[in-house]
Structure 1
């Protein structure tokens, strides 16, 4: 059954995707922002791509910035929620770190459009809620890594935490330069790399990887 809103006029007839008007606007914005660029995209173009009248669009979003804010935050919220759940787990730190890196990388690799590329927009720095979420996620990585790097000087611990976070987000650039990605293979490779950068030796990867897989949903 379609979840479209009732009584909201549409600009053009479009195939029924099963998406609500709000979801269609986000899908249209994701496509236009990543393909044509944020600055080059107008709200009229977003509305037309979604098959919704421009005036109706403002019922769901105040403007182009609100669309970008939602898209940016959608790339972080699920991973941050996963980090909170993993923080409460009694699994070893390495397994929890592997699972978070896997879930985060899979999220950034999934979907029709590379939303992580929106991080590179100069406008992204203005979105404080997004930046706060991203900072909280980065801290969650550092917290999971802390038991692994406990014997190191603080400066090196901080550096490794930064590197782990950078390794995960590197999939954004990889995806920009690849026509297609095998999401599961990429997520596993990134999770393994996160542990290596964090200080887990190659010979010690198998156990946290196995335990980390058990922490993944499904």
Structure 2
């Protein structure tokens, strides 16, 4: 039976702890935003669902209308640090008319910019012991697929084509790790310019890939053009 004055099948929200101004963020988005801040500033273990709900202006019971618990909130936040980069990677893989070195630069830049450009350093939560559980399987699957895209682009480059399978895998691991190292750099120096850091990371990634220094300026320009074409 549907709730009176409510269309059948529509989920009914619980009352808020306090009224919100019209045009503000949706409650679900606000929970994610608040949790991102609390997890990164105070720590995941030290943050309770009650604290998240109160900060978001909700009753604790209302939070469970949107998420089934703290792990679900963390899982969605972490997936948001890799899913956009995977979308970029898939698009770059399809751009076979462009130099693979330029596409690899674009991927490294875009991925690093995502990791170091948001309001909170969510990548710092990757090493939480809780993230090793099955609850975070989607995050790990997407991250693994993203890493495979790095490897595929590297294999398409001139230096990568000359590598054996084992060396290619190791070099791809290094590229992926180099890009994600912006998480640690940001934690050490939060005021670093995200664009400068992303550019330096992408440049360094091509050097790790074996691209000669003399080619960097051209490939950087082509990589930027690829990213601009997505906007």
Assess same fold via TM > 0.5: yes
Query: Of residues 147, 165, 168 in structure 2, which corresponds to 1:138?
Result: 147
Between the two proteins, the alignment pairs up a number of residues equal to 214
Query: Of residues 187, 194, 218 in structure 2, which corresponds to 1:183?
Result: 194
The 4+ residue runs of structure 1 with deviation greater than 3 A are 5-8, 12-17
**Paired residue secondary structure (1:215):** helix
**Paired residue secondary structure (1:152):** coil
Tell whether the 8 Å contact from 2:123 to 2:183 is kept in structure 1 after alignment. yes
Residue 122 of structure 1 is matched in structure 2 by 129
Residue 109 of structure 1 is matched in structure 2 by 116
Answering whether residue 102 of structure 2 is matched by residue 91 of structure 1, we say no
Instruction: Give the distance between the partners of 2:218 and 2:210, measured in 1 at CA.
Output: 14
Q: CA deviation at 1:12?
A: 3.4
1:40-95 deviations in whole A, cap 9, x for unaligned?
A: 11110110111111111111101101000000000000000000111110211001
Gaps of 5+ in 1: none
TM-score, structure 2 as length reference = 0.88
Q: Describe the shift of the 1:161–1:178 C-alpha distance in structure 2 as closer, same or farther (beyond 3 A).
A: same
Q: CA deviation at 1:181?
A: 2.1
**Paired residue secondary structure (1:120):** coil
Answering whether residue 107 of structure 2 is matched by residue 100 of structure 1, we say yes
Answering whether residue 71 of structure 2 is matched by residue 65 of structure 1, we say yes
Query: Of residues 20, 26, 30 in structure 2, which corresponds to 1:20?
Result: 26
Query: Of residues 26, 30, 41 in structure 2, which corresponds to 1:35?
Result: 41
**Paired residue secondary structure (1:200):** coil
Q: CA deviation at 1:136?
A: 0.3
Instruction: Give the distance between the partners of 1:29 and 1:49, measured in 2 at CA.
Output: 9
Query: Of residues 193, 196, 220 in structure 2, which corresponds to 1:209?
Result: 220
Tell whether the 8 Å contact from 2:82 to 2:142 is kept in structure 1 after alignment. yes
Answering whether residue 50 of structure 2 is matched by residue 47 of structure 1, we say no
Greater CA radius of gyration, 1 or 2? 2
Compute the RMSD of aligned alpha carbons.
1.7
Query: Of residues 159, 170, 175 in structure 2, which corresponds to 1:164?
Result: 175
Residue 211 of structure 2 is matched in structure 1 by 200
TM-score, structure 1 as length reference = 0.93
1:149-204 deviations in whole A, cap 9, x for unaligned?
A: 11122221111100000010000000111131211111111110111111101112
